[in-house]
Amino acid sequence: MLGTAVLAAGLIVSPAAAAPAAADTDPSVFTRKRAMTAGDCRISPGATWTLDPDGTARLDAKVSSTSGDDAWLMWTYLLDEDGAVLGQIRVAGGSSTKFVKNLPNAYWTYRWRAKGQFDRDLFDLVGWIRLSRHC
């Protein structure tokens, strides 16, 4: 799977139908087009998940909160082209599927870079990503 995808309303859509994959080693990049909120927390537009064929995943996002001592909690689901759940991205080196970014100061924007992992056999099946969140 190749290219950049767009996330809207909690779903990231793959561009697979628009462009053929160039090689099995190309990552799939899923980008959130709009802001997403939960309670006092916000993830800015442009947040991306990059999935590699070897089962590694990388998050790059900016998050903030209107109150101090918050935390952005996020779970990432991998879906096939029809929206069926394939699995979840786990925190790298562990079995937890809950990604956490502490937001200690109100109105500060924090850069969030996290590493994850998923079943590499699912790579070619991923068509969408769905995010679940809590603050």
Segment 7-30 mean pLDDT? 58
Q: Could you give the angle at the alpha carbon of 33 between the alpha carbons of 65 and 99, nearest 5°?
A: 50
Q: If pLDDT is split at 50, 70 and 90, which confidence band does 20 have? A: very low
pLDDT of residue 25: 79
| Overall number of domains in the chain | 1
Q: Is the pLDDT of residue 7 over 90?
A: no
Domain of 119, in residue numbers: 3-134
pLDDT of residue 132: 96
pTM: 0.82
The number of residues making up the chain comes to 135
Over residues 46-85, the pLDDT tens digits come to 999 999 999 999 999 999 999 989 999 999 999 999 999 9
- How far is Cα 119 from Cα 125, in angstroms, rounded to an integer? 11
Q: If pLDDT is split at 50, 70 and 90, which confidence band does 15 have? A: very low
Give residue 37's Cα distance to chain centre.
Answer: 14
Over residues 82-116, the pLDDT tens digits come to 999 999 999 999 999 999 999 999 999 999 999 99
